[in-house]
Amino acid sequence: MEITFYGVRGSIPTPGPETIKYGGNTTSILVEDQAGNFLILDAGTGIRKLGIDIQGIKEEIYIL
């Protein structure tokens, strides 16, 4: 199982120089299991980068 965090900043995005290292996006998490199934947990502002990264995936992707 692989879990990728695209945002972990709670409910308010916080862009700025002080958040460059860890990012300022709100919660968005991509989970891929051993069978290659994908699940998105939350669709905060991190969903933008997540969407760019999954553009080539042909399988269904579920959002919870």
Closest to 7 (Cα-Cα) out of 48, 37, 62, 52:
48
Instruction: Starting at the earlier edge strand, list the strands of the sheet with 28-32.
Output: 2-7, 28-32, 38-41, 61-63
Beta bridge partners of 46: none
Query: What pLDDT digit, counting tens, does each position of 1-20 carry?
Result: 999 999 888 788 887 888 77
R_g over Cα of the chain: 12
Q: CA 12, CA 35: separation in Å to the nearest integer?
A: 34
Hey, what are 27's tokens? 């919660």
User: The whole model's pTM is what?
Assistant: 0.82
- Counted domains in the chain: 1
Instruction: Say whether pLDDT at 21 is over 90.
Output: no
Range of the domain at 40: 2-63
Query: What pLDDT digit, counting tens, does each position of 23-52 carry?
Result: 888 999 999 999 999 999 999 999 999 999
